[in-house]
Amino acid sequence: MSASKALVAAPERPAVMGRYKPDWLEKPTADDMEWAYPAHAQRKEIDGKAVINCKVGYDGLLRDCRIVSEAPAGEDFGVAALALSQKFRMIPPEAGADSLPDVTIPVVFQVPRSEPFQPKTAGEASPVFTLLQLFRVGLVKEEQRGPAKPPQPLPAHDQKVVAGIAAVAFVLLVAMVLGLGHRRKPRRP
């Protein structure tokens, strides 16, 4: 059998006695979920849920899917769940069944959230990070004229800018120190 025919062939159906019992052969991956996530909802970091109802075809693929519900309304999570329905594959029903079985599938969408980087101990903090924190605490004290808030990490972009400035300042300092060691003799006219 060729490779292309092997991909199209229906999966072997496990022996099931009686009524059809749906079970998964394939489900969407995290990449599939990210692909289907409504872009505007992802930008706003809105989580959502949709429920779809589909028929299970004799090949295990979902057919005739429709949106049962979605929340929050107007964020297109139902449309996203319909798009994901092509990524599901279930144990197929018996070939001689009178009608295709229905399945109801809840699909939950959650925006991945990551915590900002914070060193766990002072020993883990880089010297530049520590210097930035001390500098920032000093600024907060000056601006508030009150007790200082605990240091907060700078955004990554700001850390890179300050680190770049510090690197340039260091190079200039080294150049000046090395330049002072080479005194020139004054020119005589």
Q: Could you read off the pLDDT of 8-36 as tens digits, one per residue?
A: 344 444 444 457 788 889 999 999 999 99
Q: Which helix (H) or strand (E) covers residue 176, if one does?
A: helix 156-180
For the CA atoms of 11, 13, 14, 15, the dihedral, rounded to the nearest 10 degrees, stands at: -160
Q: Are 98 and 19 in a shared domain?
A: yes
Task: Pick the last residue of a domain from 109, 135, 164.
Answer: 109
- Read off the pLDDT of each residue in 59-83 and give the average, rounded to a whole number: 95
Per-residue pLDDT, 154? 67
* pLDDT tier for residue 109 given thresholds of 50, 70 and 90: very high
CA angle 162, 125, 160 (to 5 degrees): 20
Residue 56 belongs to a domain: yes
Q: Are 103 and 127 in a shared domain?
A: no
The pairing of beta strand 102-109 with beta strand 24-26: unpaired
Residue 188 belongs to a domain: no
Residue 127 belongs to a domain: yes
Q: Are 57 and 94 in a shared domain?
A: yes
- Read off the pLDDT of each residue in 105-122 and give the average, rounded to a whole number: 73
Q: Are 172 and 94 in a shared domain?
A: no
Least confident of 27-41, 115-129, 144-158, 161-175: 115-129
Q: Are 81 and 162 in a shared domain?
A: no
- Domain of 96? 11-109
CA angle 114, 115, 120 (to 5 degrees): 140
Per-residue pLDDT, 13? 45
d(C-alpha 67, C-alpha 54), whole Å: 9
